[in-house]
Amino acid sequence: MKRLLFIINPSAGKKHIKGRLFEIVDLFVKSDYQVLVHPTQAKGDATEVVKREGYLYDQIVCAGGDGTLDEVVTGCMQCGCETPIGYIPCGTTNDFARSLGIPKDPIRAAKRITKYEPEPIDIGAFLALDQKGEDGSMQPVPKTDYFVYVAAFGAFTDVTYTTPQEYKNHLGHMAYVLEGIRSIPTLTSYRLKVTYDGQEIEEQDYFMGMVTNSLTVGGFQNPNSKIAELDDGLFEVLLVKFPTNPLDLQATVSAYVMGEFNKEYMYQFKAKRVMIESAEPIAWTLDGEYGGTCTKVEVVNEHHALKIVKK
C-alpha cells in the first residue's frame, strides 16, 4: 500500500473539516493508501512534521488554509523532501486553491488528489538579509523562508494575520475587508530601491508591494492576474505608489480592491529575482502570515521546485 501523511489544521476557517474527516480518510483508504492523520498542535508544527518524516510517504495531503499549505511547502523546501503534495482548502480565503482551480468542497478536493497526477509548481525563496531583533535593532542575520503565492508589504497585506481568528470564523472574507478599511488612515510611505533581473527602478515612495504567483490575494482579485502564470519561473510584481492627495488615494485603493492594474498609480513587471531595499524596516507577509521585519530582502523564483495536485 502507498503511504499518505494527512496533516490537518483543525482551527482553519470555520472548522468545517472536522465533520468531514472520517469521510476523507475513508476515501483515501479505499484508494489504497495507508493513512497517518496528524492534527497540527501549534504554529509551525506542520513544517516540523514534514521535515522529520515527510520523505517516508508517497503523498502528503494538508487540509487547512494557505498558511497550512505554506508550512508544508516550507518543510519540504528546508529538508529537500520531494514528496508530492495534495491540498484540501478549508481556510478563510484559500487564495492559492482558487488559482489552481481546487474546489472548496473538501470531498471533491480529496477525490481529485486520488484521481490526478501531481504537476510541478514554482515556489518563492525569501531571503531576508537582516532582521529586526527583540530590542528593536536591525541585525545582519540572513534568513531564508519560503512562500507559495505571495510575499507582500504595506497597506492591507497584514490583515490576514492581524484579524482575530474568531472574526474570521464568523465573518469569513468580510473580516479582512473590514480590517483593511480600518487600516486606511494609517497608510505608511516606504522609500524603496528595487532591482530585478539586472534592471533598476528609480527610487520612489510606495505604500504597498507584492511579489505574487496567484490570481487572488487576501480574497481580492490580484491586479497582476492578467499576466500571471503559476509555473513559468517568473513572479508577477506590483508596486503601488504612495498617493499625494485624497483623490489619488481613493483612485488607488479602488483600483486595488477591484483587482485592476492602473499604470498611473502602480508599477508592474515580471521577474525571476527581485531585490527590495528600504531605509526603514518593513514588515513582510508571506502567504498570509508574518514573515519578519527587515530593510533588505531578495526574492527568488524556484522554478518547478515541488509537485502538487492541481487539476
Rounded CA gap, 25 and 304, in Å?
29
For residues 178 and 278, state if they share a domain: yes
- Which helix (DSSP H) or strand (DSSP E) does residue 297 occupy? strand 289-308
Is 129 part of a structural domain of the chain?
yes
88 CB-side CA count, 13 A: 29
> How high is the pLDDT of residue 174?
45
> How high is the pLDDT of residue 165?
55
User: Of 96, 116, 136, which marks where a domain is finished?
Assistant: 116
Q: Estimate to the nearest angstrom the gap between the alpha carbon of 7 and the chain centroid.
A: 18
**Which of 267, 225, 190 lies closest to 95 in space, CA to CA?**
225
Asked if 127 and 143 count as a contact pair (C-beta separation under 8 A), the reply is yes
Local mean pLDDT, 10-residue blocks, the chain (311 residues) = 94 74 96 96 96 97 93 96 96 86 93 96 95 81 92 71 49 46 65 94 89 86 87 94 80 77 90 95 90 94 95 69
For residues 29 and 109, state if they share a domain: yes
Is 310 part of a structural domain of the chain?
no
For residues 265 and 223, state if they share a domain: yes
Rounded CA gap, 205 and 193, in Å?
9
Q: Please report, for the domain that includes residue 170, its CATH number.
A: 2.60.200.40
- What is the 3-state composition of the chain as percent helix, strand, coil, each rounded to the nearest 5? 30, 40, 30
Number of domains present in the structure of the chain: 2
For residues 72 and 10, state if they share a domain: yes
Q: Please report, for the domain that includes residue 64, its CATH number.
A: 3.40.50.10330
Q: What is the residue range of 263's domain?
A: 124-304
208 CB-side CA count, 13 A: 25
Is 309 part of a structural domain of the chain?
no
271 CB-side CA count, 13 A: 22
For residues 99 and 134, state if they share a domain: no
For residues 135 and 66, state if they share a domain: no
> How high is the pLDDT of residue 182?
53
